[in-house]
Amino acid sequence: MVLQHQRKVSVHLEMTTAGAKNDLNDPSAFAAASSAVSSHLASSGYVTAAQVREEIDRANSIVSEIRRHFPGAAGSSEILRRTKAVLDGMGVEDILLTQSVCPDEINHEEIGGGKVFHLGGLAGVPFTGKTGAHVPEGGHCFILQAPHIGMSNEQELGKYSREGQPNSPSTACGAAVGAMCHCAAGNELPYLGGVTDDYQMSYIINEMSKRMHFLSPHDGDTNAQQAELARQTHSIGKDMLDQIVSTNFGDDMSMLFVMSGIQINMPFDFEDYFEPISFEVHRKDGSVTDLFPLTFGS
């Protein structure tokens, strides 16, 4: 069967799902497969049923591999929708987004328009430290802390197929992979007191060296090793964040929301995925409420 009109694609995709290996049950996978089918149409003027089934199978295969390593991961738009529903339910309006994510350009493709205070350095570690953000009077603050991990078009975790770059796929997060390789090779740890030209990387290497026992080769399953590297990188950033968070801003009603997790830079036409790990709200009276079950289920 050949389709000539792009607007029929979504319907056709649903009709041919039965012929694919699995049904599509992830909205972001559906969007990615639809986008890939649209690209076929745009370049060739038609798409075959076999190509549609191929795109569905590929999208399902990618999601299945992501969920094997990050069971709680979902498309970032779904994470945003759930988070916003909780904030709206709490009557939160004026809020400053402060984020601690790696400066790698693949983490910032979608961001624009909204005001963001960047707290993060390499690997999403909040190197900006205690120096505060600028919360509006009577407003609230939301901190997002997340390391990132890429998946290449060949479904390799820890790598990313970067558009227009000849040595693609390359490592993502390069800082986390670099730190693990530095330690695995038995190289000397940099002395933090004397580093002025590469402090962030030196700090990450030192912290990673304490966690290398978690990063065994995993019986040759390099995707499992890379997923564990992302979790260990998360713990490095979260440990630092826990030391510097403060509710010393705004007024008596101001709240500090802190979410952490792992950002996953997805291959092909997929939007980024995100695995939430923690989400809580700190109030001025010192109380801390866990918002994770309400937002993402237990």
Residues 6 or more apart from 108 whose CB is under 8 A from it? none
Q: Which of these ranges, 30-38, 97-105, 196-204, 241-249, lies near Zn ion under the rule CB under 5 A? A: 97-105
Q: Which of these ranges, 47-55, 98-106, 243-251, 275-283, lies near Zn ion under the rule CB under 5 A? A: 98-106
The CB-of-243 to Zn ion minimum distance in angstroms stands at 21
CB nearer to Zn ion: give 31 or 262: 262
The CB-of-173 to Zn ion minimum distance in angstroms stands at 3
DSSP state of 247: -
Which of 157, 125, 144, 153 has the alpha carbon at shortest distance from 229?
A: 157
Which parts of the chain fold into alpha helices (H)? 9-16, 27-44, 49-69, 76-89, 174-184, 199-209, 222-244, 292-296
Q: How far are the Cα atoms of 7, 162, 185, 191 from residue 188, in angstroms, in the given order?
A: 59, 31, 9, 9
CB nearer to Zn ion: give 73 or 176: 176
Cα 277 to the center of its chain, rounded Å: 11
229-258 footprint of Zn ion as x/- string (CB under 5 A): ------------------------------
CB nearer to Zn ion: give 36 or 229: 229
The site that binds Zn ion (CB under 5 A) totals a number of residues, namely 3
8-47 footprint of Zn ion as x/- string (CB under 5 A): ----------------------------------------
The CB-of-195 to Zn ion minimum distance in angstroms stands at 19
- Which one of 173, 201, 262, 264 is in contact with Zn ion (CB under 5 A)? 173
- φ/ψ of residue 82, rounded to 5: -65, -40
CB nearer to Zn ion: give 174 or 276: 174
The CB-of-143 to Zn ion minimum distance in angstroms stands at 18
Q: How far are the Cα atoms of 83, 99, 199, 217, 235 from residue 142, in angstroms, in the given order?
A: 11, 8, 27, 36, 19
Is 18 strand, coil or helix? helix
Q: Which of these ranges, 71-79, 165-173, 214-222, 264-272, lies near Zn ion under the rule CB under 5 A? A: 165-173
Q: Which of these ranges, 52-60, 130-138, 167-175, 268-276, lies near Zn ion under the rule CB under 5 A? A: 167-175
CB nearer to Zn ion: give 173 or 179: 173
- What is the C-alpha separation between 247 and 249, in angstroms, rounded? 6
Which parts of 253-298 fold into alpha helices (H)? 292-296
Which of 261, 32, 63 has the alpha carbon at shortest distance from 151?
A: 63
- Which one of 26, 55, 104, 228 is in contact with Zn ion (CB under 5 A)? 104
Which spans of this chain sit near Zn ion (rule: CB under 5 A)? 102, 104, 173
